[in-house]
Amino acid sequence: MTSTHSAGSAHILRLLWMLISAVLALMTIFPLVWMLVIAFKPAPEVFAPNFLPVSPTLGNFLYVLTEVPFLRYLANSFFMSATVTIVALFFHSMAGYALARLHFPGRDFIFLAMFSTFLVSLPVIIVPLFILVKALGLINTYAGLIVPSIFNAFGIFLLRQYYLSLPRELEEAAIMDGAGRWRIYWSIVLPLSRPILAALAILFFLANWNAFLWPLTVASDTNLWVVQVAIVNFKSQYAGAWNYVMAASTIVALPMLVLFVIFQRQITESIKTSGLK
Amino acid sequence: MGRSDMTYPSTTLASTTAKDRPVISRRNRRDWLAGYLFVLPDALGLLVFVGLPMLLALGIGFFEVDGFGSYKFVAFKNYARMWHDPLFWSALRVTVLYAVMLVPALYVSGLGLALLVQRGGRFATVIRAMFFAPQMVSLVVVALVWQILLVEKVGAIGRLAAAIGWGPVSFLGDPNLALITLVAVSVWFMMGFYMLIFLGGLQDIPGEYYEAAKIDGAGPVTSFWYITLPLLRPTSFFVLLVSIVMAAAGGQVFDLIYVMTNGGPVNATAALIVYIYKQAFQLGAFGYASAMASLLVVMLMLVTLLLFALTRGGRFDHD
Amino acid sequence: MTDRQTSPAKSGLTRRRVLQGGAALAGGIAGLPFINRIARAQGAALKFWQFYAPGGDVKPQVKWFEDMVAGWNASHDVKVELEYVTNSEYMNGSKLSTAFASGEGPDIFIISPGDFLRYYNGGVLADLTPYIDDVAKADFPESVIANRMVDGKIYGVPMEVEPMAFYYSVKAFEEAGLNENDVPKTWDELLEVAKKLTTPNRYGVLFETTPGYYQNFTWYPFLWQGGGEFQGKDGKSAFDSPATVQALKLWQDAIKSGAAPRQVLSGGFDIVANLGAGYCAMQNVGVWGISAMDNNAKNMPYGIFKLPTPANGKYVTVGGGWAFVANAKGKNPEAAARFCAWALASKDQDSIQRVVDWCTVAKSDMPPRNSALAAGGAAFTNGKMGVFSKEVHPGTRAEPRVPPEVYKIISDAIQAAQLGGADPQQTATAASQQLDAFLASYSGAPIL
């Protein structure tokens, strides 16, 4: 892909490229490494200039895990994010498919109306939304955490784009066979959507895992807390104890980082090949 | 780029011309019904959980609201107040500045990283993962980590600054540095995502183009300007649209500012979305906040509709 | 995978709600309060919101709240239930506002004087006077109860009095060749000592830098010491005064001289994160700092001195503190009001002891009741607390209660001078004009 003139200079270029990439990448993860390092430092070393802990300890993690039910909060976050992701992808792919492939009066208007909600972010509508959710009786419930987070024009938009690009022939054959739209969707379109659904699943899961403002507002019951709310609360309780706060932060970040390391190839590939662009 | 429909299947947005329509007209009715049923769950959900709150916010903008259930109709008073509110203009300025710095920075860093890691191989895979890693950590945690890194004198970066003779410097406490620091942290956080998007775009550019250019004696720089950049146009469009909307009203941006500086120092990082939030929740001026929110939504809607029109219904593959 | 809990049932429900919402819209915003009332009746127990969350390093504080609620529930039919709101969110966030804006406010909650007028003017504070015995009423010193009263009625029962002072690190003093006799008594000495204590890794003195109610609170004594006020007797702004200018200038000079940081760790109220971590050598903090240091920085020797005064000024400090209040628009305002009175303002020994426990066991605070001060005895007069009760506390003036608009004007002025480097005189003049514009149209309860 790059043009080089001789094998020798290609080799040097490659080394240079590796070096630059490595340095930039290390700089990028430096803050995360720093978090990890402090999480293993005993309290007096937190602001000490030494990079690695002199006397590393697991005490911070043990303390955090025994003091605060982080596992419960992790479970809540996982449940909320997974449910939103699955339901949202299902709804969005249905809507995206219809908007891309089916013909019905008002379709363009519906798409435009949906697309325009893309611009409305939560802080702008949080009070009316809260009033509505309360009217539905969903305050302090899992449904209250989950349902309002499902609907999102961005996902519909991307899926519509994807379906516009799918070859029609497969469907046409099914139509000739007299298959209904639902069957076409369920047994042909949905399986074909796997790459983009995988990519969007990751984005949706991440976005919901990281959501803070809505879970905070809708759930007062500590049993419904998600990790992001718990970590902010933890920070304000242990403001001075950075070693604990960083240990807690690590516990919150770890599941995502581990997932990413395991599925890294799939994640990047699916985002790349999904036509998500 | 007339042939693009054939060349790049994944960005092709088949147009709905007459010849594509189903042949059997009896199907039309059934398609109507199917279409409505398929769209129903999302349409209803968006209507209830986004549309209705948006309309309510628009309505509340015409009232004076005390935050305790009293509503007094004041017509356009809240809108008039904006005109005379220096902090509103300052917030607008911060928003524009933030977007003006962030959008190009994300574009350049996303594309730059994508070019850097576009070759395959185990090494590139690891590097990619590292660039994407910040995205996997929640903003709350991100803000905490950066706060201790950046704090004057004792933070790691603060120490570094002092070591090279630039210190003591307060990245988040100096009104002249706070916004640019926020932009830097935002770029750090979001660039991995845009890198992946650009990678997708780069992959769609056929290798033969580069081969041909190479035969013609073009160097990498020439290839980049005359092949890569023009053929990346659909991707670029998408990246710009998403990053502009995100910079002006994105939830992530709000979270980031909220946890890192809370709009300070001296309102230097109080972007419109933060100012709206503060007016509503810290000062109880829900009516005023709603009026500003409505204006923001309308402005963004105009921008989007414009982009929408320019791209002919969200189609990014034509220039 | 799938639509388990989705389509049919939900869309039926939502459709109905959409109609309801549509009706509300059609009827204009007037429909809002109607929606507000729908979900009101569920859950019989009174909700008590506060920010002392379970777990964490403040166990005695949580236990105090839990014991109190258990005590009430054991002897009363209307039960009370604690709900925790994250501290940072409680004070500056959206949680409380969102709840009240939608008619879903807690039945009992705690507020600081800074919030009082917002809630009082919003009509959500219940009158507690009928449930407080006259003997108990007289037990609260005027300076403590005044900013919780309107027209002779009590709307909040204070839990604590928290005066501000300075804490210093003994080790930092020794390193700079200073000792306890060198603690600054004037503003000039403060800046001078702060400079001596500043090193490449440490700041000499720390004032709060984060904008918010708390920053304003900590700044007021510096305004008052030179005789400054933000509102004159005539009801107009008195902010454009030499006292304001010198107070703004003091904080500005501290930063300009390099002796004070522009950014604090965690928050200026947090002594462990700043003084305790060695980030600064002197810190402007309240009495709660004693228990914070005891709990989390046991081995660090520190001292306390009262706020230094400007030339020609007189000593005064500010006393903050939170109060229990009952929601007048809640499920059962009467029971909620009774609870507040029972908990902290009854003439029963239990109630007095509860105040003592809060101020000595759970926290380190000055008690808001004379009887509690007497009952606490040595706990209030020995050691570090003794410094507060003997030296710091006697000059305490209650934290002002201001409407949010006034808070914002003062906050912007402090920020502009402290961190923006704006000219203190111009800042004071501009803020004063804004204050006048606002005060001319203000019609709520008196600002104090």
Let me know if residue A235 belongs to a domain.
yes
Tokens standing for residue C326 = 């009952």
Q: Give the closest residue to C88 by CA, choosing from B272, A128, A216.
A: A216
Q: Could you tell me which chains touch chain A, where touching means 3 or more CB pairs under 8 A?
A: B, C
| Pairwise CB contact (< 8 Å): A240 & C56 | no
Let me know if residue C5 belongs to a domain.
no
Name the CATH topology of B85-310: MetI-like fold (1.10.3720)
Helices (H), C345-396: 349-357, 370-376, 378-381, 383-387
B309 or B261, which is more confident: B261
Angle at CA C418, nearest 5°, toward C417 and C423? 25
| % of chain B beyond a pLDDT of 90 | 28
Let me know if residue C78 belongs to a domain.
yes
Instruction: Please state, in angstroms and rounded to a whole number, the distance separating the CA atoms of residues C165 and B50.
Output: 49
Any B CB within 8 A of C11 CB: yes
Confidence class of residue A274 from pLDDT cuts 50, 70 and 90? low
pLDDT given for residue B14 in this prediction: 38
- Structure-token match 């790459």, residue found: A195
Q: Does residue B77 have a pLDDT over 50? A: yes
Instruction: Please state, in angstroms and rounded to a whole number, the distance separating the CA atoms of residues B49 and B41.
Output: 12
pLDDT given for residue B209 in this prediction: 87
**Domain assignment of residue A214, given as a range:** 63-273
Do C106 and C128 share a domain, yes or no? Answer: yes
pLDDT given for residue A239 in this prediction: 64
Let me know if residue A268 belongs to a domain.
yes
Q: Does residue B16 have a pLDDT over 70? A: no
Q: Could you tell me which chains touch chain C, where touching means 3 or more CB pairs under 8 A?
A: A, B
pLDDT given for residue C128 in this prediction: 96
Tokens standing for residue A2 = 């790059």
pLDDT given for residue B129 in this prediction: 84
**Domain assignment of residue C250, given as a range:** 163-319+402-441
Q: Does residue B191 have a pLDDT over 90? A: yes
Chain A hits for C276, CB-CB cut-off 8 Å, are: 240
pLDDT given for residue A212 in this prediction: 84
Asked whether C196 and C178 are in contact (CB, 8 A), the reply is yes
Q: Counting one residue from B and one from C, how many pairs have CB atoms under 8 Å apart?
A: 138
* CATH 1.10.3720.10 domain range(s) in chain B: 85-310
Per the prediction, chain B carries an average pLDDT of: 82
Please report, for the domain that includes residue C313, its CATH number.
3.40.190.10
The per-residue pLDDT for range C386-444, each reduced to its tens digit, is: 999 999 999 899 999 999 899 999 999 999 999 999 999 999 999 999 999 999 989 88
Mutate to test the interface with B, among C5, C121, C262 (most CBs of B within 10 A): C262
Q: Give the closest residue to A203 by CA, choosing from A144, A106, A268.
A: A268
Any B CB within 8 A of C181 CB: no
Q: What average pLDDT does the segment A193-197 reach?
A: 84
Q: Kindly report whether the global pTM for this prediction surpasses the value 0.90.
A: no
pLDDT given for residue A240 in this prediction: 66
pLDDT given for residue A42 in this prediction: 86
Let me know if residue A10 belongs to a domain.
no
Chain A hits for C53, CB-CB cut-off 8 Å, are: 222, 233, 237
What torsion do the CA atoms of C212, C215, C220, C222 make, to the nearest 10 degrees?
-150
Residues of chain C short of pLDDT 50, as ranges, are 1-42
pLDDT given for residue B311 in this prediction: 63
The per-residue pLDDT for range A52-61, each reduced to its tens digit, is: 888 888 888 9
Let me know if residue C15 belongs to a domain.
no
Q: Could you say which DSSP state residue C125 is in? A: B
User: Taking the CA atoms of chain A, what radius of gyration do you get in angstroms?
Assistant: 24
Please report, for the domain that includes residue A195, its CATH number.
1.10.3720.10
Q: How far is CA C387 from CA C274, C379, C380, C394, in A?
A: 21, 12, 9, 11
C125 or B255, which is more confident: C125
For residue A57, report the phi and psi dihedrals to the nearest 5 degrees: -140, 150
Q: How far is B280 from chain A (nearest CA, A)?
A: 9
Q: What average pLDDT does the segment B285-313 reach?
A: 80
Do C155 and C52 share a domain, yes or no? Answer: yes
Minimal-distance CA residue of chain C relative to B150? C263
Angle at CA A153, nearest 5°, toward A150 and A157? 125
What angle do helix axes A194-209 and A70-101 make, rounded to 10 degrees? 140
DSSP letters spanning B43-57: HHHHIIIIIHHHHHH
Minimal-distance CA residue of chain B relative to C36? B69
Any A CB within 8 A of B132 CB: yes
Do C186 and C263 share a domain, yes or no? Answer: yes
Q: Could you say which DSSP state residue C154 is in? A: E
Q: How many domains does chain A have?
A: 1
pLDDT given for residue A11 in this prediction: 86
Q: Does residue A272 have a pLDDT over 80? A: no
Q: How many domains does chain C have?
A: 2
Helices (H), B174-285: 175-203, 207-215, 220-223, 229-231, 233-249, 251-260, 272-281
Confidence class of residue B6 from pLDDT cuts 50, 70 and 90? very low
| Pairwise CB contact (< 8 Å): B264 & C210 | yes
Q: What average pLDDT does the segment B225-235 reach?
A: 85
The per-residue pLDDT for range A53-85, each reduced to its tens digit, is: 888 888 889 988 888 888 899 999 999 999 999
Q: Does residue B2 have a pLDDT over 80? A: no
Do C314 and C413 share a domain, yes or no? Answer: yes
Q: Pick from C118, C278, C415: which is nearest to B284 by CB? A: C118
Asked whether B148 and B155 are in contact (CB, 8 A), the reply is yes
B306 or A272, which is more confident: B306
- Reported residue count of chain B is 319
Q: What average pLDDT does the segment B81-109 reach?
A: 94
Instruction: Please state, in angstroms and rounded to a whole number, the distance separating the CA atoms of residues C142 and A77.
Output: 49
Instruction: Please state, in angstroms and rounded to a whole number, the distance separating the CA atoms of residues C275 and C205.
Output: 9
Do C278 and C329 share a domain, yes or no? Answer: no
Do C64 and C124 share a domain, yes or no? Answer: yes
